[in-house]
Structure 1
Amino acid sequence: MKVSRLAQDITLKELSLGYPGKVLMANLNAVLPAGKISVILGGSGCGKSTLLRHILGLNVPVSGEIFLGETNLTKLKDEDELRLIRTRMGVLFQDGAMLGSLTLGENVALPLQEHTELPDVIIEEVVNMKLRMVGLGEFTHYFPNQLSGGMRKRAGLARAMVMDPTTLLCDEPSSGLDPITAADLDQLILKLKETFNVTTVVVTHDLDSLFNIADHVVVLHQGRCLYQGDLDGLRDSDDEYLIDFLERRPTIIDNSMARSVKFRSRL
């Protein structure tokens, strides 16, 4: 099986996903364009991270299909073929997912050691190059607990890119970061897209990141795709949920507080 080294569209066709006894998303149709940054938005628990797991092949859809270019990922039954596809996918997990017993360099080297037969000297050279790329060239021998949250996220990006993937999946990359560090990470994701022409999918709640990096937006809500398109179309939408989401409008009224206010008004 040949795996393309060029960025490719990710196409979701009539995709329903979830877990036994619970469907989170039904009949989802979307195209995440090649070489662009697609941002997946939606409320907590709507299925954003679950969608990433399905693209990776870690979960099997309830129904429907997922294509990477011309390859139907949902039809791949051979574990070796799926494994080969995954070598062209880089993943940045929410917390960086660094192994605490290994140094930064050892963490980043793991995919190369697992999936290639490169000699140690070449692996070390590649690891150092990727760590320099994310501004961590001087921290190769540090352990994860010696680094800040932002540095661990950047290290996670270095590991995600160490195999030169054509697809990069990022799950809440800016969560838990201060605004400046989050902005730095946004710029790094933009730089990776421009330098490596990688198809990037970012799950986030960070509206600042959305407007900084998104070429394409998919909004999931109540088990369906509520919107997909560019930022201008998202800003111009008259959908009530989208307006509430983008303007951070509260939708829940604390009834006990409301009763207290009414009681006080009668005094």
Structure 2
Amino acid sequence: MSKIHYTEKYLLNPYHPVEVNVIGAGGTGCQVLTSLARISCALKQLGHPGLHVNVIDGDIVTKSNLGRQLFSASEVGLNKAMVLANRINRFFGFDWDAIRENYPYKDCTTANVTITCVDNVKARIEIGKFLRKNIKPKTSGDHDMTKPYYWLDFGNTTDTGQVVLGTISKIEQPKKSNKEATNKLKCVDEMFDLTKVKDEDSGPSCSLAEALRKQDLFINSTIAQLGCNIFWKLFSGSIENHGVFLNLKTLNSNPIKI
């Protein structure tokens, strides 16, 4: 019997816009944010309150970011989170927030959905620990803006990438289903032993040419589209895939079945 995951009911009918933390506003993060804005607009058209996103990144725009990331020459030296949040707010009329620090920072909170677009393993390990440590909402209500339900992680190398959507805790499933309902989706740090992964933060590139030697020009935007499509499908009520592996060199993609 094939497996299926039914979305946490609160995300489908929330009292307020679904709270989303996007951690990392670089190559993948800037593409993800644009897709999230489109998702929020679409949800509102369907009678849903949409999304409220906190863009979290302590880095600034550099010249090497131009072309590969969605920044202009006039934005060099400015904080990435601030630039992207302001741009989306002006274009879509949103009130998304920018947090100019690296997550987790002092007094930071969790959100209903955490989306990570970070470039190192250490950050993923720390974020995973923080989410599980703060699994209970900050207020007495069962459904609060800080109650973490899902973790969507984006990762890539030069021309390959993966997206993994996991649940922070078990999600209640219908008692009756034509397919095997799964209440727990493995997060990226549960699918892979990140402690054994050797990766080093290479630091900022000095030029666009150097940056392109590290990552293909379209790997970030392609993986962002695939991952946000899974997130969008979550709002339909159920999903049968909770991730994808992508090889841009061979143009192959393989879903991660539940």
TM-score normalised by L of structure 1: 0.31
TM-score normalised by L of structure 2: 0.32
